[in-house]
Amino acid sequence: MKRRKQKLIHVFFISVFALAALGGTAYGAPEKELLEMQTQLADQAKALEEMRATIDALTSEKEDGANFRSPFVFSGNKASSVVLYGHINRALLAADDGNDADVYQVDNAASQSRFGIRGTIKVSDELMFGTLLEAGLNLNLSDGVSQEDPRGDDVDNTFKRRHVDLYMKHTRWGTLSMGHGSTASDDTTSLDLSGTYLAGASAVSDYAGGLIFYDKNLNSLTGINISKIYNSMDGLGRDDRMRYDSPSFAGMMVSGSWVADGGGDVALRYDGELADIQMLAAIAYARPSDASDTVKNQYDGSVALLFDSGFNLAFASGLQEYKQDRADDGSFYYFKFGYKTMLASFGETRFSVDFGQYDDILTLDGSIARQYGKGDVIGAQVVQDIKDFGAELYAGYYFYDLDADISSYESIHALITGARIKF
């Protein structure tokens, strides 16, 4: 009996030690697993935070107007921010020259298809360096196709150099630009708040500039196309230049540029509001020098107004003095009346009508300077914005009429319809 009690006591202690050991394992194992789970959760939280920061960076808006930073473009300079952008702008151009009618597949020269890369380096809150590379695609341009060249093959069908630019921008000192880009007077006759420039603007030759006028007396096409009659004198355009832009003072900015051939220009711009009316204005003087074989001096400008009601106005004008002694001065004026409204929830709908007169524009046929007469133009436009997709649908009609002393010409009717999608 005594031995049995000792055996039972022995079994009891063994059981207690076994339970204690099992209990330690049972409680120790979960503690270890919990620690491992806490570590994993901390790592996952860190990864999620990094992903959120990346998404925020990719979807942040850029000051220069680009909506998103592309995840497919990476900078070779860690200090710089790089944006890839561009758009495709294709259209159908239907035209009637008074003798025959045809339809052309075109790239709209008013905003030709393009791509570009913009880089910026923020040095401080006041100073920024920037670079800009941009090329246009010369493919069936609307100002290049014609009755004799329906594909526009006479135009170089590769790339058009638009910007190869380096600039330094300071909030107090202004902006200095070097390279190929806009001169100071570029775009000074194209100010417009209607939102319909894809279908109509002061540069009325952009939409059908290659089309040739039909001579009623000769019953044949002439060598006179729309581009030779309708010149909007939009400054010196883009060129190899050095350009300076002052900081904005009360909405006004002064600009000047020196062109590689020795020419130059100056411009004064205004961007602001007057009594709740949004206003853009510009005036410019340009002296092309060797950059032009015909123009000695050019004076131009434009103004655009947008009212709270959605109605808007634009006016542009220019004067050219020519190097040819017996040539009359060339001139033009242009009016546009427009209206913006929200007919659909997905984007703004814009309407406009315009009229212009382009007189004694001088062009060179080989080495011979010619002034063909006066060209009148009347147009109507509509543009539908599709905001969420970065797309616009548009249609524009133009009636081109040439009043010349040397002969009588049929008027040209042109209708352009197309779409632009940005990326």
Same domain, 1 and 142: no
Q: What is the pLDDT of residue 96?
A: 98
Residue 171: closest CA among 130, 127, 139:
127
DSSP three-state, residue 53: helix
Same domain, 20 and 73: no
Q: What is the pLDDT of residue 346?
A: 95
Residue 262: pLDDT band (50, 70, 90) is confident
Q: In sequence order, what are the beta bridge partners of 322? A: 295
Same domain, 44 and 82: no
Same domain, 295 and 368: yes
Has this prediction a pTM greater than 0.95?
Answer: no
- What is the span of the domain harbouring residue 19? 1-59
Same domain, 100 and 48: no
The single-letter code of the amino acid at 382 is V
Same domain, 147 and 26: no
In tens, the pLDDT along 60-93 reads: 544 444 444 445 666 777 778 999 999 999 999 9
pLDDT, average across residues 317-342: 97
Same domain, 237 and 152: yes
Please tell me the distance from the alpha carbon of residue 401 to that of residue 277, in angstroms, as a whole number. Answer: 34
Same domain, 4 and 27: yes
pLDDT at 25 over 70: no
Same domain, 45 and 139: no
pLDDT, average across residues 397-403: 98
Same domain, 262 and 146: yes
In tens, the pLDDT along 135-175 reads: 999 889 999 999 999 998 766 668 899 999 999 999 999 99
Residue 183: pLDDT band (50, 70, 90) is very high
> Of 59, 80, 105, which residue sits at a domain end?
59
Question: Which contacts of 245-252 are long-range, i.e. CB under 8 A and separated by 24 or more positions?
Answer: 245/174, 245/175, 245/177, 245/184, 246/174, 247/170, 247/171, 247/172, 247/173, 247/174
By mean pLDDT, which of 11-25, 26-40, 256-270, 377-391 is the weakest? Answer: 11-25
CATH at 407: 2.40.160.10
CB proximity list for 328: less than 8 A, separation 6 or greater = 360, 371
pLDDT, average across residues 38-63: 61
> Of 35, 59, 83, which residue sits at a domain end?
59
Total domains present in the chain: 2
In tens, the pLDDT along 219-236 reads: 999 889 999 999 999 999
The phi and psi torsions of 42 (rounded to 5 degrees) equal -65, -40
Same domain, 293 and 365: yes
Q: What is the pLDDT of residue 153?
A: 75
Same domain, 52 and 77: no
> Of 59, 77, 92, which residue sits at a domain end?
59
